[in-house]
Structure 1
């Protein structure tokens, strides 16, 4: 551990703070703190001015010529805004910080002492032990269940079984462990911190139990390659720090044919007595019963910082806006989500579109690309094609009316049917 004096200008508020997950940049992280914790932030700023100091060293890590704050983001943010109130997100907050700055006696600090740690594993160990209580905003705010889940999803740390321990045991039994260097288990836990990443390498840790989702031999071969890359330091913690880094590494392994593929998938045995043959499936959607547009289940999505707004809209539609109470808001946000999801896929997959293509045309071109890639089937493509037909319930015309028509009121049933018809495509676009 090293304690160093670091200028405020060299400190970066963490865009990937576990309080909120990955955001686009420092400005977005500061805005989130005031959107979600404004009174706490005000209380903390007042306390800093009254005491003329902060009582704990911010925990920082060097990155290029700056230092990213891993603990103490609220304290550093208050100091940055006291130093320059114009950085506050609203005129009201700017006035508040100008007033607080006027109360500062003596010289305002241009630098502060920080605890500098270059080892990010050590940083996570410190964070894991440090967060205990908020003291009404003056101390560190307690992590709620979702923030803890974000931390676990990013790092793989939890009170349950360690996926790295489970993998190490199986690789050792198969005599596939790297022979020369120790497997860095904390880095492996970080890589496989969420089910979507674990499923790509052929395993699952649902309900805290290790299971193979793909052929054991193919999966162990993939895990052996990953273990070798980590043990040899070809891939290090910095490569796997965020969602984009994890996906980039797994995508590279996939392109090399390392990861198990569809042919290796283990069939899930049927439960209960045999059932009668089902009727031939159709593209007609049967809406599920729920209180929000997006059912409260796991869609296997991970959220990199570049999809910050997509994530926020998704959570509003999945957890906050009730269909019966907010159908107009839900209808507008559904259209926005579809547009943003399509643009994400178009950009990621380099789908050729014309700048004048409207929503329905863009959806069709994305659908054709997904169909050619085998990601959707012909029945799903039929639904996509019908999106251009104005007489259909699931259509661009319906969405336009929801937004622009004073006489066309959205209903929860229609909105549910639209989501159920397009959900698979929307999710695929967000995963791109």
Structure 2
């Protein structure tokens, strides 16, 4: 084993690359990588090539290669990078299509792609296996690459517009600095950072909650409106409650969050405020990420309009809060008015079970079943139109392909706008990542109103799929 600088022209793509399986030639390997890295109207490989052209290769990464008898080297790790370098050398290797000519123009001038690259040379393929496993199969109990959690990502590069997560992390970091010697508090902060930033973010994004606790935001900074010791004490109580494991199941609306804080802190409220005026229940100067009024979203869905997705819009009347009757909204029922008679009998049964689940008792079962119902519906649609996805195709890609097929048919594209807008957003309720987290992340706790929001946003897609399959069966 040795380190070496190798000419890019001496490197060969691995014809046994696990990304695409065994192929017979270098040309086939490159074509397979291009297909593997394709996304709707985009290409991960093209994006990598453009980044290398602008910024060069990462100095933290070496190619792992195996020397062949003909003084060439088979790349065992780094095939995407090598394929990107090939495209930079010959842009016409990119198949004709959207973006191909634009790519050729963007890389026509001088770039930072190297002629020689740093390599780690192994004598045999098996000598690279352990390193490939660490790099490409997840964090492997800490032996592989452990991705930054959302909190770490926020600290590294804060988003421009505050989100629930970013606001929660700002508050937790402030509390860390002011309770540095209190081990129990630090433990609670760590738990909330890992498991409950959504709930904390919802709370601190709300003006009346901040007023009651005694602070406000200036940029990313926490500015106390109360004596610092009082603010630390109140935040400790909130964080301890969120870290206790007690389910905080319904703080979707501002009045729910206000009541939660009043019940939790009792008389220990900033300034001992009287009951707030009516406008405090109805107005806020912040917006919540993916927390819209469920009633408003349901109304939009019934009118065939897309969900607003971003702004916090609480329902309520202008009457005084004390005279307002208690909230008697029924527990949401998922996909309650959606027609699914074009789907397979078992899929229809799953939707029936979803509609009849009591979300207050079985939110986790409903979340897992919800994700399965969406995936099965999309799979049925793609299979029916002859575009059966491979087992390893990501859920987001399947959903996009299904939507694009419906947009090309009779279903209007605006019906799916809310999904298309948020499908790849890391913290959106309707994102494929969030649906997957309900199944694979033990700390992702679903809330009934969140599940209803997902149901409302995906209802047009499910109905469109059902109608499209039914139409094909009738022909």
Question: Same-fold call, TM > 0.5?
Answer: no
TM-score (norm 1): 0.31
Provide the TM-score with structure 2 as the length reference. Answer: 0.29
If you compute each CA radius of gyration, which structure gives the higher value, 1 or 2? 2
